[in-house]
Structures are given as structure tokens and as C-alpha cells.
Amino acid sequence: MDKKDLRIVYMGTPEFAVESLKRLVEGGYQVVGVITMPDKPMGRHGSVLQPSPVKEYAVSQGLKVLQPEKLKDEAFLDELRALKADLQIVVAFRMLPEVVWNMPRLGTFNLHASLLPQYRGAAPINWAVINGDTETGITTFFLKHEIDTGEIIDQVKVPIADTDNVGIVYDRLMLLGGDLVVKTVDAILAGNVKTTPQEELAKVDELRPAPKIFKDTCRIDWTKGVKPVYDFIRGLSPYPAAWTELSQGEASPVMLKIYESAKIFCEHALQPGTVVTDKKTYFRVASTDGYVDILSLQLAGKKRMRVADFLRGYRHTEDTCVR
């Protein structure tokens, strides 16, 4: 079968999923439908509906778009069947019911932003950086009942530099993901896919999960040591951002988001969370084995700024700390 005759249904929502869809469209593959999340209410009263990045791109290309509230809804399933897809591709979407992923004759494959079976879950890129990994990657695999557990089709490994934050790794994996999706489609078309059960790879290392990240997840624990805190900050930068509370005497604590830091290893007698600053050029926080040197941050209600700009309007007192 020629790629122009292969009927593909694509499923995805965020910016990460746009690159792979774009590569398919520009590569001349026949995308007969795009499934994405319903438009998201925005604004003070929720009166403005914001389409997903995938929908915006699909509409710009004149592709058919479906936005079901529920994936088991009969009306949606009828529309999906009518597309007569040979293959479905999922990139950063939702957990699919079997009636959906089992529909096309060639199956449904997913692009996941980790080296499965490591980091199954919603936030694999964040957790790889938070955990200080020096390598991550992308995986394509066929869907089955349990989430992120299907047989692996292909993988690409990517190094993580000590200075990379999650935004840098995200962009790198997004671009490589487009390459891998096209490569996987071509392998399926050629009929030469050789899959590997994840159980065979799971024996190598202890499996690390990648659960969804919430606000409380992003709070910094200054007792964990300089390197873990440094990795935590870059693993949440630029979004959703690690945070702490800046406390001074009897004044109410203020939320402080931290985007960029540096490591200073040394001995000291200060309690973790103690702030040390010259009030002009540096703002450091004590940890158990040194200091985390804060380079860029954001106070609640303010814009992100470099630490020198922050210190111009900041009054340091002896009891200043973060917690």
C-alpha cells in the first residue's frame, strides 16, 4: 500500500503533538481525521473557548476534526468508524477505551516521551529531569489494555545535559518525535515491524513512574541537598515552575517561583532554607550540603526576572528564609 492510500486518524492535544501531525501532513500521508480535546473555556467567566494547538493546526490544513467529550459516546464511535482508518496514531492525548484503539485493521500506536518501560504516566519529561537522569528518549508502541504497557515498536535515545531544563528537553523530543512517528508509519506500511514486549526491558532497571504534576508537587524541599533541588528546579522550568515561600518575620509569606539556579557545594552551619545575599548580585538558599544560587525567579503577581533586578526592590532582613 502506498502512503497516500493509508487512512490515518491522528489523536493529540498539546503543542508536543503538533509536530508529528505536521510531519505526516507535509510528508503526503493521508490524515482522514484528527481527534482532540474539546475547546477549553478561558477568561474570567469562561466565555472564550480556546482550541487546542492540534485543533488549530488541523483546521489550518483543512483536516476533519472531532472533539468528543466522552470516547465511548456512540455518536462519536459512529463518526470514527465512518473515517475507515487503517491506522490510528496517538500523541499526548487521553487513555483510549479498547473499542477505540482496537478499531483500525493495522492497530493504534502511541508516541511516548520516555524510554519505556521507564516513566509510564503523564509527565515523563519532567520526572526524567527531576530525577537527574542523563538520558531519556521517545518510544512508539502499540496500545493495549494497561496504560503505556504495549509492545515497543521503536525507540530513540537522547542525552540530557546537566544544564538542560524541561523546556529544552521537551523541544528536542518533540522534533525527534516527528521523525519517529513517520519512521514507524513507514515500517508498518512495509510490514517489517518487529515489536519488543516491555517485560523484557523491565528486568534491566527499577521502574520509575511519571505521575501527573500538581501545584503541591512543585514545592521545593530545601532539605534534600543541592543537586536534587537544582534538578527539581530545572525539571519544572519553565512550566509549571518550582516554588517556595519567602518568609520575613511576622509578614505573610510570599510565593516565589524559581526558574533557574546554580549549584554551590560547601560546608556551612545554616539551617536549610536560610537566605544568604549581598543584596545586589546574589541570592542563595542554604541546603544540607551547600547553597542553591538563584538566578531567575518570579514573585507572585510580578514578571519573571533576573536575580539582580529582584534584589533592587527587595529588603533583606536577618530572619529571611524560604520554606
Query: pLDDT (tens digit, 9 = 90+) per residue, 255-308?
Result: 999 999 999 999 999 999 999 999 999 999 999 999 999 999 999 889 999 999
pLDDT confidence tier of residue 321, bands split at 50, 70 and 90: confident
Same domain, 146 and 286: no
Q: How far is residue 238's CA from residue 218's CA, in Å, rounded to a whole number? A: 12
Same domain, 184 and 276: no
Q: What is the DSSP letter of 64?
A: -
| Residue 117 is assigned to a ligand binding site | yes
| Residue 210 domain-assigned (yes or no) | no
- Mean pLDDT value across the chain: 95
Helices (H), 155-278: 166-190, 198-202, 226-234
CB 63 within 8 A of CB 34: yes
| Residue 109 domain-assigned (yes or no) | yes
| Residue 114 is assigned to a ligand binding site | yes
| Residue 93 domain-assigned (yes or no) | yes
| Residue 2 domain-assigned (yes or no) | no
156: CATH:
3.40.50.170
CB 228 within 8 A of CB 291: no
| Residue 116 is assigned to a ligand binding site | yes
The residue behind cell 492497530 is 107
Q: How many domains does the chain have?
A: 2
User: Phi first, then psi: what are they for 233, rounded to 5°?
Assistant: -65, -45
Give the domain-ending residue among 141, 174, 202. Answer: 202
| Residue 284 domain-assigned (yes or no) | yes
Same domain, 158 and 284: no
| Residue 114 domain-assigned (yes or no) | yes
Q: Where are the beta strands (DSSP E) in the chain?
A: 7-12, 30-35, 40-42, 48-50, 65-66, 87-91, 108-112, 135-142, 152-159, 242-247, 254-265, 275-277, 283-287, 290-299, 305-306, 321-322
| Stated length of the chain | 323
Its domain, for residue 129, covers: 7-202
pLDDT confidence tier of residue 44, bands split at 50, 70 and 90: confident
Q: How far is residue 58's CA from residue 67's CA, in Å, rounded to a whole number? A: 12
